[in-house]
Amino acid sequence: MDKAKKIQYLLVSHLLEKGHIELTLPDGMVVELGIVQENEDGNLEKVDNYSWLIASQKDRIVSMDSYNFGLRYAADSGKILVENSTQDHDGQTMRVLTAC
């Protein structure tokens, strides 16, 4: 098994056992991955066909789950949102949202 497959196996095994993991990258960015969702009682439980990720660095956060995606940044950062469209490698039109 090559390194990438071994890392993926260990990561997925951890997610299946614990429900989520937090990784800190060398530049200080934090990546969180999970397969748990809050139930009616407010407890976290593993849910089939559901996953989420959050990437954060300083005052910027990008989040995505099986249903939504989000972008958060400091209100006073002077950034503006720019929407554009492009084509992916299969020729499908994709919408792009950038904070700059």
pLDDT in tens, the chain (100 residues): 799 999 999 999 999 999 999 999 999 999 999 999 999 999 999 988 999 999 999 888 999 999 998 888 887 777 788 999 999 999 999 998 887 8
* pLDDT the model gives residue 80: 83
Strands 81-87 and 60-65: unpaired
- What is the pTM for the complete model shown? 0.79
Tokens of 75: 């209100």
Q: b/e for 26-52, b at 16 or more Cβ within 10 A?
A: eeeeeeebbbbbeeeeeeeeeeeeeeb
